[in-house]
C-alpha cells in the first residue's frame, strides 16, 4: 500500500473511534462499560495485563515489556506486583511517586517510554477508552460533574467511586455555557498522545533559575485578562502545564532528584491528596500516574538530606538493575544496533556474545560459595547448569547480594565502543576480536573507572577472549567436517577390509594397481588406539567385529559404523584427530596448495551459508583459529 493510502486509512480508523455526546449519553456508556471510568493507575495496570502473562518456573513474565526489555523479569515482576497492581486497586501506593532507581543506561527510560507508547495505543482500544469533558484543557473526568452530595447514590447505583472535584474552569463553564445543566455538558472520547499533549506529560530538569513552575501547573494568560477582568477568572488562565496535560494518564519526571525543590513540593499534595495548586484557584484535582527515575548516588544524597523527609515518604522506590544474563545482554545489543545507523554493518557471529560476557562479568558480585567462580556464576545465571550447581541454586545465590547489578559496564558504553571499532575498521564488518579490542582500548580512556576496577575488567576481557577461542575452534572444526558422515563411512570400510584380511590371513588387492598388499597395520592401530585397545587386545577386538558383522548378515541387516558403539567412537575420534591437523595446516598455511585452497573455499562457503559469517569475517575466523592451533 502506498504510504499516503496508509495515512488515509489510519485517519479513517481514528475517525471511527471518535465519540461525542452529552453527559446523559455518556452515563449510558458508563453503565454498559464500567472500565471507561477507571482511574489512571487502574488503566495502566490493565494495559500491562492485556498484553498477556506467561508463567514459567514460578515466575510471571509480563509480555508488555517482553519485546523491549530483556533480562529484567524479576524487577518487572516486582514493579507490576508491588506497584501497579495494588495501585490499580486504589491502595495507598497509588498516592506515591513511582521512582525507578538504577544505574545509567539500565533501561529506566525505556520502561517509561513503553508505558507512554502503550497508553497511547491502549486509549484507542475498547477496553482502554477514555472520555473527558469536551473542550477542557485538562481532559477532566466527566464524572466530576456529579455533585458531591449525590456521589454516594451514584456509587450505590453504578458501583463506581468518584474522586476529585470539578475544576474551577469547568465549574464556571457549567454555569456560563450549560446553565448548570450537567446532563447537557458535552463529553468526548480522547486519545492519549504525548505529541498532542493529551494524557501524557514529561518534565525534564533544566537550569533551575530559568525553570518556571508554570511549566508544571500552567500560567496566567495575560492576553485575556482584559477580556475577563480578573486574574482569578479561570478563563484567563492557561491550564497547560505538564501536570495539567498529564491528567488521566501519566507524568514522567526525568532525573527527578535533579529538580529544584520548589517543583518537588507540588508533587507532595498531588500524590497525597490527588490535587495541586495553580494560580489563584482552588485546588485542582488530577488523576495521574507519576513516574520518575534517578540513579543510586542521587537517591542516596536525596534521602540523606533531612529536608526531604516528607517527600521521601511519598516515594516508592523500585530498583531497576542491569540485566545479568549473557544471552539477554546479546539481545539488548542486537536491538540497539538495529535501532542505530550501524544496522547495515556485518556483525560476525559471537561478536556480541563476547561483549555480553564481558559486561555481565563486570556486574556480578563474587559469591562466597565454595567452588563457584564468577564464570560459573555467569553461566548459571544464564540458565546453564554447571558443575556442582543448578538452577535451583540461582534463587539462593541472588539472595547473597540483593543489590547485585547496580554497577558495572552499561549497554550504551558497549554499543559506543562497537561503533568506534566500526569506524576504525573501514570495512562494514566487525568480529569478536575487534569488539574485545575496542572494549579494552575504551577502558584505558575511561576516566571514571578506578584502577582496581580496571584490572578486574582487563581480566574479564581475557576471560571473554578464552570463551571465544573455544567457540571459534569448535565452529571451524564443525565447518570442516561437512561430509562427516561420508568420511566416517569411508574410513570404516577401509578399516573393515583390513580387519577381514588380517583375521583370514589374506592379502588385500590395491583397487587401482591391482597389486597385492599386506593389511595396513598402522591404519588399524591408529583407529584402535583412539579407544585404548592395547596391542594384546587387538586380535580379540578385530574378531569380535567380524562376528558382529556376520551376525548382522545372517539377520539380513546392514552393518554400518553405528552398529558397534566402540567402533563408532573410535572412528569419530580418529576423524577429529586427523581433522585437527588438516584444520591446523589448512588454516595456517601461508601459501596453500591447490587442494588446501579448495578446502578453504569450501569451509568459507559453509561458514557463510550455514553459520552467518560474511566472507571477511569467515576468513578472519579461519586465520585466527589457524594461529590458535599453532600455539
Q: Which residues bind Mg ion (CB under 5 A)?
A: 109
Q: In the beta sheet, which residues pair with residue 60?
A: 55
* Shortest distance (Å) from residue 63 CB to Mg ion: 23
Taking the least distance from each CB to Mg ion, the nearer of 315 and 464 is: 315
Judged by DSSP in three states, 406 sits in coil
Scanning residues 376 to 415, which ones bind ligand ADP (CB under 6 A)? Answer: 411-412
- Asked if 442 touches ligand ADP (CB under 6 A), the answer is no
Which residue number, 102 or 274, has a Cβ lying nearer to ligand ADP?
102
Asked if 407 and 361 touch (Cβ cutoff 8 Å), the reply is: no
Asked if 41 is part of the footprint of ligand ADP (rule: CB under 6 A), the reply reads no
Q: What is the DSSP letter of 387?
A: T
Query: Among the candidate windows 88-96, 108-116, 176-184, 227-235, which touches ligand ADP by CB under 6 A?
Result: 108-116
Q: Among residues 22, 39, 105, 498, which is the contact residue for ligand ADP, using CB under 6 A?
A: 105
Q: Binding partner of residue 488 among ligand ADP, Mg ion, none, CB under 5 to 8 Å per kind?
A: none
- Nearest distance from residue 129's CB to ligand ADP, in Å? 29
Residue nearer to ligand ADP on the CB measure, 249 or 411: 411
Is the CA virtual torsion 563, 564, 565, 567 positive or negative?
negative
Contact partner at residue 411 from ligand ADP, Mg ion, none, CB < 5 to 8 Å by partner kind: ligand ADP
Is the dihedral angle over the CA atoms 397, 400, 406, 408 positive or is it negative?
negative
Q: How many residues bind ligand ADP (CB under 6 A)?
A: 18
71 touching ligand ADP, by CB under 6 A: yes
Please answer whether residues 146 and 162 qualify as being in contact, where contact means their C-beta atoms are separated by less than 8 angstroms. Answer: yes
Following CA atoms 356, 362, 363, 369 in sequence, which dihedral angle do they give, to the nearest 10 degrees? 110
* Nearest distance in Å: CB 298, Mg ion: 12
Question: Alpha carbon of 618 to those of 432, 436, 593, 614: distances in Å?
Answer: 12, 18, 19, 6
As a whole number of Å, the CA-based R_g of the chain is 35
Residues 6+ apart with CB under 8 A from 271: 95, 96, 97, 290, 314
Shortest Å, Cβ 291 to ligand ADP: 11
The option from ligand ADP, Mg ion, none interacting with 104 (CB < 5 to 8 A, set by class) reads ligand ADP
Residue selected from 44, 47, 80, 106 as contacting ligand ADP according to rule CB under 6 A? 106
Provide the minimum distance between the beta carbon of 108 and Mg ion in the complex, in angstroms, as a whole number: 5
Spell out, one character per residue from 334 to 353, where the chain touches ligand ADP: x when CB under 6 A holds, - when not.
--x-----------------
Question: Segment near ligand ADP (CB under 6 A), from 69-77, 89-97, 131-139, 581-589?
Answer: 69-77
Is 333 a residue that touches ligand ADP (CB under 6 A)? no
Phi, psi of 206 (to 5 degrees): -135, -160
CA 347, chain centre distance (Å): 19
- Residues counted in the chain: 631
User: DSSP letters of 423-460?
Assistant: HHH-SSEE-HHHHHHHHHHHHHH-TTS-HHHHHHHHHH
Q: HSE-up of 301 (CA within 13 Å, CB side)?
A: 8
Select from 98, 107, 461, 587 the one that contacts ligand ADP (CB under 6 A). 107
Pairing of strands 289-294, 97-101: parallel
For the record, the C-alpha cell of 369 comes out as 560459595
When CB distances are held under 5 to 8 angstroms depending on the partner's kind, the choice from ligand ADP, Mg ion, none that residue 323 binds is: ligand ADP
* Least CB distance to ligand ADP at residue 336 (A): 5
Min. distance of Cβ 68 from ligand ADP in angstroms?
Answer: 6
Least separation in angstroms between CB 360 and ligand ADP: 12
Residues 298-327 contacting ligand ADP, CB under 6 A? 323
Binding segment toward ligand ADP, per CB under 6 A, in 68-76, 114-122, 505-513, 601-609: 68-76
Of all helices (H) and strands (E), which one includes residue 22? Answer: strand 20-22
Binding flag, residue 134, ligand ADP (CB under 6 A): no
The C-alpha atoms of residue 492 and residue 498 are separated, in whole angstroms, by 10
Closer by beta carbon to ligand ADP, 414 or else 430: 414
Closest CA to 154 of 140, 169, 168, 144: 144
Q: Which stretch binds ligand ADP (CB under 6 A): 38-46, 104-112, 204-212, 427-435?
A: 104-112
Q: Answer yes or no whether residue 110 interacts with ligand ADP by CB under 6 A.
A: yes
For Mg ion, give the closer residue by CB, 109 or 171.
109
Backbone angles phi, psi at 219, to 5 degrees: -155, 165
Residue with smaller CB distance to ligand ADP, 164 or 411: 411
Mapping DSSP to helix (H, G, I), strand (E, B) and coil, where does residue 512 land? Answer: coil
Cβ at position 110, least distance to Mg ion in Å: 8
- Among 80, 185, 286, 332, which residue sits at the site for ligand ADP (rule: CB under 6 A)? 332
Binding segment toward ligand ADP, per CB under 6 A, in 18-26, 98-106, 194-202, 256-264: 98-106
CA of 354: how far to CAs of 198, 340, 373, 442, 463, in Å?
44, 20, 18, 15, 9
* Residue 109 interacts with ligand ADP (CB under 6 A): yes or no: yes
Q: Which neighbouring-strand residues pair with 250?
A: 200, 289
| Distance set, CA 59 to CA 56, 100, 147, 225, 411 (Å) | 5, 21, 45, 58, 25
Q: Would you tell me which residues interact with ligand ADP (CB under 6 A)? A: 68-72, 102, 104-110, 323, 332, 336, 411-412
Amino acid at each position: 500500500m502506498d504510504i499516503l493510502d496508509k495515512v488515509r486509512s489510519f485517519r479513517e480508523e481514528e475517525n471511527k473511534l471518535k465519540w461525542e455526546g452529552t453527559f446523559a449519553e455518556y452515563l449510558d456508556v458508563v453503565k454498559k462499560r464500567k472500565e471507561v471510568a477507571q482511574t489512571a493507575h487502574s488503566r495502566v495496570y490493565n494495559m500491562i495485563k492485556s498484553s498477556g502473562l506467561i508463567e514459567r518456573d514460578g515466575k510471571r513474565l509480563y509480555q508488555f515489556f517482553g519485546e523491549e526489555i530483556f533480562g529484567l523479569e524479576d524487577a518487572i515482576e516486582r514493579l507490576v506486583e508491588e506497584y501497579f497492581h495494588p495501585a490499580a486497586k486504589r491502595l495507598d501506593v497509588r498516592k506515591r511517586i513511582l521512582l525507578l532507581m538504577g544505574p545509567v543506561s539500565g533501561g529506566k527510560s525505556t520502561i517509561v517510554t513503553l508505558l507512554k507508547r502503550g497508553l497511547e495505543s491502549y486509549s484507542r482500544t475498547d477496553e482502554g477508552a477514555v472520555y473527558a469533558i469536551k473542550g477542557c484543557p485538562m481532559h477532566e473526568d466527566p464524572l466530576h460533574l456529579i455533585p458531591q452530595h449525590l456521589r454516594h447514590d451514584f456509587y450505590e447505583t453504578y458501583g463506581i467511586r468518584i474522586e476529585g472535584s470539578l475544576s474551577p474552569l469547568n465549574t464556571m463553564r457549567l454555569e456560563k455555557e450549560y446553565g448548570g445543566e450537567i446532563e447537557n455538558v458535552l463529553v468526548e472520547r480522547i486519545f492519549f498522545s504525548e505529541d498532542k499533549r493529551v494524557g501524557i506529560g514529561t518534565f525534564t530538569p533544566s537550569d533551575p533559575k530559568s525553570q518556571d513552575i508554570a511549566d508544571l501547573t500552567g500560567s496566567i494568560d495575560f492576553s485575556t485578562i482584559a477580556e475577563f477582568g480578573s486574574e482569578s477568572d479561570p478563563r484567563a488562565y492557561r491550564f497547560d502545564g505538564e501536570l495539567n496535560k498529564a491528567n488521566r494518564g501519566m507524568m514522567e519526571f526525568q532525573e527527578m532528584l535533579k529538580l529544584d525543590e520548589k517543583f518537588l513540593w507540588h508533587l507532595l499534595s498531588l500524590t497525597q491528596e490527588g490535587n495541586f495548586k495553580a494560580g489563584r484557584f482552588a485546588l485542582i484535582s488530577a488523576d495521574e500516574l507519576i513516574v520518575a527515575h534517578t540513579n543510586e548516588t542521587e537517591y542516596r544524597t536525596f534521602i540523606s538530606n533531612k529536608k526531604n523527609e516528607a517527600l521521601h515518604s511519598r516515594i516508592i522506590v523500585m530498583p531497576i538493575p542491569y540485566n545479568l544474563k549473557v544471552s539477554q545482554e546479546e539481545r539488548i545489543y542486537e536491538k540497539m544496533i538495529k535501532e542505530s545507523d550501524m544496522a547495515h554493518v556485518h556483525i560476525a557471529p559471537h561478536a556480541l556474545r563476547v561483549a555480553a560476557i564481558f559486561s555481565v562479568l563486570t556486574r556480578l558480585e563474587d559469591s562466597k560459595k565454595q567452588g563457584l567462580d564468577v564464570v560459573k556464576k555467569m553461566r548459571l545465571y544464564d540458565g546453564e547448569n554447571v558443575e556442582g550447581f543448578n538452577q535451583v541454586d540461582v534463587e539462593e545465590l541472588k539472595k547473597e547480594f540483593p543489590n547485585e547489578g547496580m554497577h558495572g559496564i552499561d549497554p550504551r558504553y558497549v554499543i559506543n565502543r562497537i561503533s568506534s571499532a566500526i569506524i576504525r575498521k573501514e570495512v562494514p564488518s566487525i568480529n569478536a576480536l575487534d569488539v574485545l579490542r575496542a572494549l579494552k582500548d575504551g577502558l584505558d580512556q575511561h576516566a571514571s573507572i578506578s584502577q582496581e576496577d580496571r584490572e578486574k575488567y582487563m581480566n574479564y576481557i581475557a576471560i571473554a577472549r578464552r570463551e571465544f577461542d573455544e567457540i571459534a575452534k569448535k565452529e571451524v572444526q564443525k565447518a570442516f567436517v561437512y561430509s562427516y558422515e561420508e568420511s566416517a563411512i569411508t574410513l570404516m570400510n577401509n578399516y573393515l577390509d583390513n580387519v577381514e584380511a588380517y583375521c583370514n590371513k589374506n592379502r588385500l588387492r590395491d583397487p587401482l594397481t591391482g597389486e597385492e598388499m599386506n593389511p595396513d597395520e598402522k591404519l588399524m592401530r591408529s583407529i584402535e588406539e583412539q579407544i585404548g585397545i592395547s596391542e594384546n587386545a587387538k586380535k580379540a577386538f578385530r574378531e569380535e567385529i567380524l562376528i558382529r558383522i556376520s551376525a548382522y548378515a545372517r539377520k539380513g541387516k546392514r552393518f554400518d559404523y553405528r552398529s558397534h558403539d566402540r567402533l563408532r567412537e573410535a572412528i569419530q575420534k580418529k576423524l577429529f584427530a586427523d581433522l585437527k591437523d588438516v584444520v591446523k595446516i589448512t588454516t595456517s598455511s601461508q601459501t596453500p596448495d591447490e587442494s588446501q585452497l579448495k578446502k578453504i573455499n569450501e569451509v568459507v562457503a559453509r561458514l557463510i551459508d550455514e553459520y552467518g559469517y560474511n566472507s571477511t569475517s569467515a576468513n578472519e575466523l579461519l586465520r585466527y583459529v589457524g594461529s590458535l592451533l599453532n600455539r
